[in-house]
Amino acid sequence: MRTKHTSHPLSSFPVYSCAFVSPNDFVLGGGGGQSKTGIKNKIRLYHVESDSKLALLDELELASGEDAPMSMAAHPSRSEIVGGINSSEDALKSGPNQNCRVYNVQENKLSFSHAQNTIHLTTEDDDFQKVTVFSPNGKYLAVGGTRNLSVLEYPSLDPIATPIQLEKGEVYDAAFSSKTLVVATTVNLLVYALPSEEEGEATEKSKGKEAPLAPLELLHTIDRPTLPGKDAGSSYRAVSRDGKLLAFGSSDLNVGVLDAQSLAPLLTILKAHEFPPTTLRFSPSSDTLVSGSADNTVRVVTIPTGLGATSWGSWLLFIVALLVVLFAILAQQWFRV
């Protein structure tokens, strides 16, 4: 299916992360990283009216030597975002890495709120906060580096358990349900139980008493199956808030949208960027998709109304038509007998 989409150039702004804070406003994180390229690391707030109309509302320049925002998530009900930004080498010499950072988004302005250390770095380390995910109710926040993941209470950013340390593989992504946390790694899926309400209340009461944190309970480990063929060059994925659409960016520079249940292809945008996509985000209403890349562009895609339902309905019609033909053939053979 064809749809409207527009590429928007952003001068000297490689894009690495994105989060919608309202149906028409989103935040981009990007820049030149900690390398001395002269490209500033920034957080930018944009307003989008349609795929062709994009307006910069505000931007916040990060301190010299800090890393680019490599991951980002918006709180489901508060006008706040959390970004993964490593501290500068100079700051690491005098204190911990303030990598997990909260920013307010109020009246079209961005402002820093507070931060927490979850990734311990020295000046020689090269890890970063690659995963930033909120629980559906916004109570918990999962942030992860290459081989560790922490679950924090929000907005305090206090840890609710000891960090998850991987024995093998690397952290790929994470997702919450109402009672569990699923951590996707490069070799398996790890399913953890979240604290019950009673356990949460007990944790609240024990604050200030130096009570030791316990690890999250590991419920299941699901090993990654061996499948025929080579791994596809998918660089990034996103799921719409209603759970009906799955977007992906690939190493061949394309962006696609699938039906999340049937995995039927719905949209394909060829050569969406000059470099592979680094971030994808659906709007809260699932009618807009933003794709960003290190080539200094974002592409805004209009998602047609009822896209997934139309595709699924077409498949049902095809299956029904096929069954009608099969029954007709069987009926002819029956009457001949």
Q: What is the pLDDT of residues 9-27, one digit of tens each?
A: 999 999 999 999 999 999 9
Q: Which amino acid is at 114?
A: H
SS3 label, residue 150: strand
Q: Report how far apart, in Å, the C-alpha atoms of 304 and of each of 257, 267, 277, 307, 310 are.
A: 11, 10, 21, 5, 10
Whole-angstrom Cα distance, residue 91 to residue 97?
8
pTM above 0.85, yes or no: yes
Residue 39: per-residue pLDDT: 95
Range of the domain at 208: 5-336
Give the number of domains in the chain. 1
149 and 107 Cβ atoms separated by less than 8 Å: no
Question: Is pLDDT above 80 for 220?
Answer: yes
pLDDT at residue 312 is higher than 70: no
Q: What percent of the chain lies above the pLDDT cut of 70?
A: 84
How confident is the model at residue 56, as a pLDDT?
98
First to last CA, the chain: 45
Longest dimension (CA), the chain: 90
In degrees and rounded to multiples of 5, residue 93 shows phi and psi of: -70, -25
Of residues 123 and 32, the one with the higher pLDDT is 32
For residue 307, pLDDT over 90 is answered with: no
51 with 6: CB under 8 angstroms?
A: yes
User: In the predicted model, what is the mean pLDDT of the chain?
Assistant: 90
Q: What is the mean pLDDT of residues 93-105?
A: 97
Tokens of 91: 């700051």
User: Does residue 315 have a pLDDT over 60?
Assistant: no
Burial 269-306 (b: 16+ CB within 10 A, else e): beebbeebbbbbbbbbebebbbbbbbbbbbbbbbbeee
Residue 319 has pLDDT above 90, yes or no: no
The residue with tokens 């069987």 is: 330
CA distances to 85, 166, 225 from 170, rounded to whole Å, are 19, 7, 16
Instruction: State the pLDDT at residue 96.
Output: 95
Q: Decide if pLDDT at 324 tops 70.
A: no
* pLDDT higher than 70, residue 117: yes
Q: Give the CA count within 13 Å in the CB-facing half-sphere of 259.
A: 17
Q: Does residue 31 have a pLDDT over 60?
A: yes
Reading phi first (left if > 0) and then psi (alpha if -120 to 50, else beta), residue 319 is in: alpha
CATH code assigned at 116:
2.130.10.10
Is-contact 333 327, C-beta < 8 A? no
- What residue spans of 46-171 are helical by DSSP H? 89-94
What DSSP designation does 118 have? -
Residue 124 confidence (pLDDT) above 90: no
Model pLDDT, residue 102: 99
Under 8 Å between Cβ of 239 and 204: no
